[in-house]
């Protein structure tokens, strides 16, 4: 039986996977954060600790075949926090994967690595990165690290460009494009464990009518989402869209508005004036 480790098991995505994967026969070990957390069921295999610490990483990865790495900072935060959690800890995890002979790392990338594309653009999987902040920039680093560890060390890598994933329906206009339902999330994780690939990138969203991404091109792991945010569109469209004009214009939504320089205030505009 394949042994699977899950980091970030108490986050939005990790909580769903921690609860659901064992129901599909997955032998799961979960890292629940810096401190211990209550087990969800008798005999649950849990670890905790700082993933910048080699001992904590080894406790998670010993005897593991596949790591689903969901830990890290998942919102826009000061640079040092991003560096600590999304760069240094990620490198420590990959080095732990090397030490422990982990065959595959599934990396939680993000739609925010592409957030500066216009909301009217449909992206293919080979689109150039356009991060919308420090968080999105850290995911560019993470995808590059996954690629390097496959090319240089033979650790298989799947980068999940996750949209908006919570165990609830979409909540606003943007999520009609970025939402991934819990059923699709679990199906995606199972394909990541089972698919015969070496390196792949996958848009982590449901089969949304308004998707920012070209899902018609398929993906290398055979993930075929079944849910669709459009089922919730009438209720959402009946409410006011509270995003401002900048957030509505870009795929990254409100992340774009953080520390954003309006075009009229940029150096080129000032010189032209």
The reported pLDDT for the residue numbered 270 is: 63
Question: How confident is the model at residue 271, as a pLDDT?
Answer: 62
Tens digit of pLDDT per residue, the chain (273 long)? 899 999 999 999 999 999 999 999 999 999 999 999 999 999 999 999 999 999 999 999 999 999 999 999 999 999 999 999 999 999 999 999 999 999 999 999 999 999 999 999 999 999 999 999 999 999 999 999 999 999 999 999 999 999 999 889 999 999 999 999 999 999 999 999 999 999 999 999 999 999 999 999 999 999 999 999 999 999 999 999 999 999 999 999 999 999 999 999 999 786 655
User: How do the domains of the chain map onto residue ranges?
Assistant: 3-272
Per-residue pLDDT at 133:
98
Q: Which residue, among 189, 244, 226, has the nearest Cα to 66 in the 3D structure?
A: 189
Structure token pair of residue 251: 């795929």
Domain 3-272 class, CATH top level: alpha beta
25: left (phi over 0), alpha (psi -120 to 50) or beta: left
- The per-residue pLDDT for 182 is 97
Distance CA 85, CA 52 (A): 8
Is 117 a known active-site residue? Answer: no
Spatial neighbors of 208 by CB under 8 A, at least 6 apart, are: 176, 177, 178, 179, 228, 229, 230
Q: In what order do the strands lie in the sheet with 104-110?
A: 45-47, 27-31, 3-7, 66-69, 104-110, 156-162, 199-204
What does the DSSP 8-state code read for residue 158? E
Sign of CA dihedral 215, 207, 22, 60: positive
pLDDT value at residue 268: 79
Show Cβ contacts of residue 135 under 8 Å, excluding neighbours closer than 6 positions. 73, 74, 75, 76, 77, 82, 86, 110, 112, 255
pLDDT of residue 272: 58
Out of 135, 149, 212, 213, pick the active-site residue. 135
pLDDT for residue 166: 82
Give the helix ranges, DSSP H, for the chain: 12-20, 54-61, 79-82, 89-100, 134-153, 175-178, 182-194, 233-237, 245-249, 254-257, 267-272
């Amino acid at each position: 039986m394949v042994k699977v480790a899950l980091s970030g098991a108490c986050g939005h995505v990790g909580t769903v996977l921690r609860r659901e994967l064992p129901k599909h026969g997955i032998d799961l070990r979960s890292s629940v954060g810096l401190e211990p957390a209550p087990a969800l069921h008798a005999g649950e295999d849990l670890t905790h600790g700082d993933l910048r610490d080699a001992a904590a990483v080894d406790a998670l990865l010993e005897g593991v075949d596949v790591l689903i790495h969901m830990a890290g900072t998942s919102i826009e935060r000061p640079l040092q926090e991003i560096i600590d959690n999304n760069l240094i800890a990620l490198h420590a995890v990959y080095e732990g994967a090397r030490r422990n002979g982990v065959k595959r790392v599934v990396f939680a990338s993000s739609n925010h690595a592409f957030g500066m594309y216009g909301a009217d653009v449909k992206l293919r999987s080979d689109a150039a990165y356009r991060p919308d902040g420090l968080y999105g920039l850290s995911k560019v680093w993470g995808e590059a690290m996954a690629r390097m560890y496959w090319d240089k060390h033979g650790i298989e890598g799947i980068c999940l460009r996750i949209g908006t994933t919570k165990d609830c329906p979409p909540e606003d206009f943007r999520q009609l494009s970025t939402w991934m339902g819990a059923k699709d999330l679990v199906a995606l994780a199972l394909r990541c464990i089972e698919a015969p690939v070496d390196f792949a990138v996958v848009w982590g969203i449901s089969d949304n009518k308004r998707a920012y991404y070209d899902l018609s091109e398929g993906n290398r792991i055979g993930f075929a989402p079944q849910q669709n945010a459009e089922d919730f569109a009438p209720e959402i469209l009946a409410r006011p869209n509270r995003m401002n004009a900048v957030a509505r214009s870009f795929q990254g939504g409100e992340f774009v508005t953080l520390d954003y320089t309006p075009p009229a205030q940029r150096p080129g505009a000032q010189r032209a004036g």
